[in-house]
């Protein structure tokens, strides 16, 4: 399934294709949510176009390594090897910072 999804993101440009899911938040409110552009950003990333990805959705560039780290720590026993890393990036305060960072990004991108 993962391979299929990655393949689709690589082959098709979500910016041109109506197949990719629309953001319900955007449709309802007319504002871009913090995730808008993430699929185009993933597409650009898969083509190693960092600049393009950054302009589509800068947040995602930071979130993807973070997500991968989280998956490693949480599901591949990483937290037993690097308990400090877990405390630092996935502690209570990290959670608060991540969530508020996402919200601030969401506000800023619509205001600026």
45 binds other proteins (CB under 8 A): no
Radius of gyration of the chain (CA): 16
Question: Looking at 48, 92, 111, 112, which residue binds other proteins (CB under 8 A)?
Answer: 92
User: Does 87 engage in binding with other proteins (CB under 8 A)?
Assistant: yes
Binding site for other proteins (CB under 8 A): 1, 4-5, 8, 14-27, 30, 32-40, 42, 59-60, 63-64, 66-67, 70-71, 73-74, 79-80, 83, 86-87, 90-92, 94-96, 98-99, 102
């Amino acid at each position: 399934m993962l391979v299929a999804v990655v393949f689709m993101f690589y082959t098709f440009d979500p910016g041109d294709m109506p197949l990719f899911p629309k953001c319900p938040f955007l449709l309802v409110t007319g504002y871009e949510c913090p995730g808008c552009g993430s699929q185009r950003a993933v597409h650009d990333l898969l083509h190693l176009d960092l600049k393009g990805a950054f302009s589509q959705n800068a947040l995602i560039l930071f979130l993807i390594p973070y997500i991968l780290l989280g998956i490693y720590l949480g599901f591949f026993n990483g937290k037993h090897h690097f308990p400090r890393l877990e405390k630092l990036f996935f502690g209570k305060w990290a959670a608060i910072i991540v969530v508020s960072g996402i919200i601030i990004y969401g506000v800023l991108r619509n205001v600026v």
